């Protein structure tokens, strides 16, 4: 399976699996609509809505996502590209309104992750060849090129805000919101749904989602957790009320060079794809934090995930290590139903503090 076609096929498979998990209560109308945005298959699941209204709602949400995609795209022309060019030229410019809230959220979450989540490393992502729609023909950059960018150490800490103006102290800063944009977009979509009177829905972007309300008659949504192989389920959870479930894994965008796989989740400390983790799933109240935290915890790995999760206010984490071991905290263990526990070593952390469990920021 090619690197370019794999994400789309996996998204479709996960969508079908999720639909099977959702089921449908007698007398409850469940509408599913799909469209492409943010380079993945987006799915809107609406409970208690008829077909015509679902079509109208989907048209609005799809239009919103396409506008955000254009504004936040890391390498196509648009507001973010112009902003990155200004940073490279050492200029102070007006911060685009469509970028400002995402930039502010990114700066806060980067600090809480100790810089493991850092959208300022777009040049590293580009250097590895992931600022392309199809990375199949990529090859790893030279160690010298990586070392040079690490020496320049681009970071969200380099950004300076002065009212509505923004500049960077470091010309190597290049913003890439790939590890938070989808989550922030999903949060905006939920706000839009509620403004249209929708209280029971799932906004799903390639398996990463936020679920609100329930699927009818008080029955919870049942959410699939993808396995890193992209073909199976690791487990499932039940969600009712308002929760986001996000998974980060090296299978999403990758390529092979001389028999070794290189994925898009770059560790800002080493300049290389993070090692030690196969996938991370987090549950949190908002999709923005869940999206950023999934990336940060993937990089933190089996030895550091607990500290980073607490700092980011994430109360439920499941980490699958490259060696097949599962790491999770007790709150996540109580929520997840694993597909197959046989032969799996499960490592439970100490319970997280109450403030973390409440998702306090």
- Please return the burial class of 132, using the count of CB atoms within 10 Å of its CB with bins 0-12, 13-18 and 19+: middle
With beta carbons less than 8 A apart as the criterion, state whether 207 and 188 touch: no
What's the CA gap between 190 and 127, in Å, rounded?
Answer: 34
With beta carbons less than 8 A apart as the criterion, state whether 288 and 277 touch: no
Domain finish residue from 147, 168, 189: 168
Number of domains in the chain: 2
Domain enclosing residue 102, as ranges: 72-168
Q: Is 216 left (phi over 0), alpha (psi -120 to 50) or beta?
A: left
Domain finish residue from 150, 168, 186: 168
Q: What is the CATH number for 101?
A: 1.10.3980.10
Q: How far is CA 291 from the centre of its chain?
A: 3
Quick one: 50 and 94 in the same domain?
no
Both tokens of 166, joined, read 């923004």
Q: Is residue 331 in some structural domain?
A: yes
With beta carbons less than 8 A apart as the criterion, state whether 289 and 183 touch: yes
Which percentage of the chain shows pLDDT scores above 90?
A: 79
Give Cα separations from 168 to 65, 89, 117 (angstroms): 28, 10, 18
What's the CA gap between 167 and 147, in Å, rounded?
Answer: 24
Instruction: Write out pLDDT tens, residues 321-339.
Output: 999 999 999 999 999 999 9
Quick one: 337 and 308 in the same domain?
yes
Quick one: 62 and 77 in the same domain?
no
Q: Is 218 left (phi over 0), alpha (psi -120 to 50) or beta?
A: left
Domain finish residue from 168, 188, 217: 168
Element (H, E) at 123: helix 122-127
Q: Is residue 237 in some structural domain?
A: yes
More confident residue, 312 or 133: 312
Q: Is residue 99 in some structural domain?
A: yes
Quick one: 241 and 103 in the same domain?
no
Model pTM greater than 0.75?
yes
Residue with structure tokens 């015509």? 52
Both tokens of 148, joined, read 């040079």
pLDDT at 13 (0 to 100): 46
Instruction: Write out pLDDT tens, residues 88-110.
Output: 999 999 999 999 999 999 999 99
Task: Indicate the angle between helix axes 79-88 and 51-72, nearest 10 degrees.
Answer: 20
Instruction: Write out pLDDT tens, residues 153-180.
Output: 999 999 999 999 999 999 999 999 999 9
Quick one: 150 and 257 in the same domain?
no
pLDDT at 28 (0 to 100): 66
For the beta sheet containing 221-226, the strands, ordered from the edge strand earlier in sequence to the opposite edge, are 221-226, 233-239, 337-338
DSSP 247-278: EEETTSSEEEETTEEEES-B-TTTSSB--SEE
SS in 3 state form for 165-232?
EEEECCCCCECCCCCCHHHHHHHHHHHHHHHCCCCCEEEEECCEEEEEECCCCCCCEEEEEECCCCCC
β-strand partners of 121 = 174
Instruction: Write out pLDDT tens, residues 178-208.
Output: 999 999 999 999 999 999 999 999 999 999 9
With beta carbons less than 8 A apart as the criterion, state whether 284 and 314 touch: yes
């Amino acid at each position: 399976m090619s690197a370019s076609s794999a994400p789309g096929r996996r998204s479709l498979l996960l969508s079908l699996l999720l639909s099977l998990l959702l089921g449908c209560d007698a007398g409850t109308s469940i509408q599913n609509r799909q469209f492409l945005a943010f380079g993945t298959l987006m799915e809107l699941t609406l409970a208690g809505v008829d077909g015509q209204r679902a079509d109208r709602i989907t048209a609005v949400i799809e239009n919103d996502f396409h506008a955000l995609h254009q504004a936040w795209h890391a390498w196509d022309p648009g507001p973010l590209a112009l902003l990155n060019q200004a940073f490279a030229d050492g200029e102070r410019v007006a911060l685009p309104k469509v970028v400002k809230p995402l930039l502010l959220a990114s700066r806060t979450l980067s600090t809480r992750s100790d810089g493991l989540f850092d959208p300022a490393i777009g040049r590293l992502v580009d250097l590895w060849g992931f600022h392309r729609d199809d990375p199949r023909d990529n090859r790893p950059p030279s160690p010298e090129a990586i070392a040079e960018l690490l020496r320049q150490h681009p970071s969200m800490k380099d950004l300076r805000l002065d009212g509505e103006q923004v500049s960077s102290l470091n010309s190597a800063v290049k913003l890439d919101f790939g590890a938070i944009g989808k989550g922030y977009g999903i949060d905006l979509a939920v706000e839009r749904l509620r403004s249209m009177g929708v209280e029971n829905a799932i906004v799903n972007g390639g398996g990463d989602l936020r679920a609100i309300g329930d699927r009818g008659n008080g029955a919870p949504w049942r959410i699939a957790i993808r396995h890193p192989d992209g073909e199976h389920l690791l487990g499932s959870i039940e969600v009712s009320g308002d929760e986001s479930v996000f998974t980060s894994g090296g299978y999403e965008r990758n390529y092979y060079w001389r028999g070794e796989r290189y994925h898009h989740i770059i560790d800002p400390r080493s300049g290389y794809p993070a090692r030690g983790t196969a996938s991370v799933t987090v549950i949190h109240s908002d999709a923005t934090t869940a999206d950023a935290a999934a990336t940060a915890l993937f990089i933190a790995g089996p030895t550091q995930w607990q500290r980073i999760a607490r700092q980011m206010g994430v109360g439920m984490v499941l980490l699958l290590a490259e060696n097949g071991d599962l790491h999770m905290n007790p709150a996540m263990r109580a929520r997840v139903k694993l597909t197959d526990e046989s032969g799996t070593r499960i490592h439970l952390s100490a319970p997280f503090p109450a403030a973390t469990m409440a998702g306090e920021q």
